[in-house]
A and B are shown apart, each in its own frame.
Chain A
Amino acid sequence: MNGELTSEDLTILAALEALAAGDGTPGSSPRPPLPPRPQDADDTAEMLARLYTEALGLVPYELDPVAPSPAARDRLMSAIAGEETRPSPAAEPARVVAPPSPARPTTQEMRVQRPTLTGAAAVRRRPSRWPLALAASLVLALLGVSGWLYLQVDQERRTIARLRQDLDVERSRAAGAQAQARQLQARSLDMRQKFALVTSPAVEVSSMRPMGRPPLQPAARGVLFVAPDHQHWYLSLQGLQPAAGGKVYKLWFVADQGPVGVSAFPAQSGVPIELSSQEMPTGTKAAMITLETDPFAATPSGPEVLRAGAVSPIS
């Protein structure tokens, strides 16, 4: 299986492995590792990774929606407003007790009591004030302790959230390192396979030459190596200039049923490009590279830049 993987396949597998490792948040984690690819094909590879990420993001829309309870939204909004998410009913009576109403008798009570207050009675009633003052003090102290505890809990909650974020970051780093190791292994395997192909005594070789009058890319050239099984191939390109206007180059194999799109790729001045795969359409008679506006075009629509002129031995 590994031998047949294209850059696109590796992009998909890297995205899925990153998901399996818990690196599922593209906006808040290091960039997911990209698979081995032709040099400086970052734009195409990142675009592919983005497309597959968005495809994965659409998967849960298959599920029937489930409405959260109204209380859930209220709790969320309270939490972000820094309020208690669930006010404790037990705290309510404490606030009722706090202003001790007996300490302030009503006007009617005062009218009733005042004529009966004698000196001895007043002396007897005086001690009854301090338990109320003590109760009020205790209530205030309890409120103070409650507030302090709330602040402590809130601080602990923030610490836990921060530690959880740190854990997420570390997990993402570990996943990134693992994926990078896998990427290096895959790249090494890929290079060994290419080397085996180009050094094979039975390999068939076809040169790719500039097309157009005058040629669109006179300095561009390429060599296509095809294994005896007519499936495994390797293409080396040089001298392709960067495509202007957001266009990309696209490789096509011309088979019995017509041109078959293989891969779209960008070019950078002075940087060679390598493409390979272990699949080639049956009956391939030629290969060509065109300049396309849509990298996903099913048929070539842009001008032809390079063509493998004599590829009859390929199929």
Chain B
Amino acid sequence: MNSIPPTSSPESPSDGALLRQVADRQPEALGALYNRYASTLLALAKRILGSAADAEELLQEVFLHVWNHASRYDPARSSVSTWLVLVTRSRAIDRLRTRKVVERTHESSAQRDPVRHASPGGAEAVFLHERRERVQRELSKLPPEQRQVLEMAFYEGLSQSEIAARADLPLGTVKTRTLLAMKKLRNALRDEIRQLL
């Protein structure tokens, strides 16, 4: 089934249009972007930081960054969705490194904080649900050892050398697993990626 990307949803403006309005200092545009992506970004921040309170504080920081630097976004480099994800990830990992609480990432925060499921509503909800299902399905197909190195790189911000040291593996093995995982992921999510381009 074809999914409906937010950039073409008939009842709401595209991500790019919203970001341009944010750059023009229109608060309601930032509110719309927040409604669209906050639950995904908060899940990411919580996955990295392990604390709901820290994650919510970081989310605030990310959207203030968006408010103040929307004009820096370059559509030739990434989609708005990916930009927001990478800003959130980068700041969360910075915060993690600063606090030196790397070990906290291994603890599942799901038991400590109740998970509240967000539903943006309308076509966006359908789109996000489909995207989530597809990404979960494709990631679950990766062999555990490939998924492990991908998660360590993405969620913990570790370099290939650091992953090799942490997992007690040769650097070449880590690179091979990472490359295989990335290529499989790119091929499996080709349709999703095309919608973002």
List residues of A whose CB falls within 8 A of some B CB.
Answer: 1-2, 8-9, 12-13, 16-17, 19-28, 31, 50-69, 72-73, 75-77, 79-81, 161, 165, 296
Contact = CB atoms under 8 A, between A and B. Distances in A.
B52 A66 contact: yes
Given A13-B179, A61-B135, A76-B34, A66 B73 contact: no
A1 B176 contact: yes
B139 A81 contact: no
Interface of B: 27, 30-31, 34, 38-44, 46-47, 52, 55-56, 59-60, 63-64, 67-69, 72-75, 77-79, 81-83, 85-87, 89-90, 93-94, 115-119, 128, 131-132, 135-136, 139, 150, 153-154, 157-160, 162, 171-172, 175-176, 178-179, 182-183, 185-186, 189-190, 192-193, 196-197
B55 A66 contact: yes
A213 B72 CA distance: 51
B83 A72 contact: no
A27 B78 contact: yes
Given A16-B178, A64-B43, A76-B34, A56 B64 contact: no
Given A54-B79, A66-B46, A66-B116, 5 more contacts: A12-B183, A20-B162, A26-B74, A27-B78, A66-B115
B82 A20 contact: no
Contacts of A26: 74, 77-78, 82-83, 86
Nearest to B55: A66
A69 B89 CA distance: 20
Contacts of B94: 22
10 contacts: A16-B153, A17-B160, A19-B89, A28-B74, A55-B189, A57-B196, A60-B41, A65-B40, A65-B132, A80-B27
B30 A20 contact: no
A296 B183 CA distance: 12
B42 to A, nearest CB: 5
Contacts of A24: 86-87, 89-90, 93
Most chain B beta-carbon neighbours within 10 Å: one of A1, A23, A58, A296: A58
Contacts of A25: 83, 86-87, 90
Contact of A65 (B39, B87, B90): B39
Contacts of B78: 26-27, 50, 53-54, 57
B196 A60 contact: no
A231 B35 CA distance: 53
A16 B162 CA distance: 12
- List 8 tightest A-B contacts by C-beta distance, closest first: A57-B82, A1-B172, A24-B90, A67-B118, A65-B39, A20-B159, A27-B73, A60-B44
Contacts of B85: 56-57, 59-60
Most chain B beta-carbon neighbours within 10 Å: one of A26, A54, A165: A54
Contacts of B150: 59
A65 B82 contact: no
A215 to B, nearest CB: 34
Contacts of B83: 25-28, 57
A66 B131 CA distance: 16
A130 to B, nearest CB: 47
Contacts of A66: 39, 42-43, 46, 52, 55, 115-118
A16 B160 contact: yes
A1 B193 contact: no
A64 B117 contact: yes
B100 to A, nearest CB: 15
A24 to B, nearest CB: 3
A207 B183 CA distance: 32
Given A12-B179, A50-B77, A58 B131 contact: yes
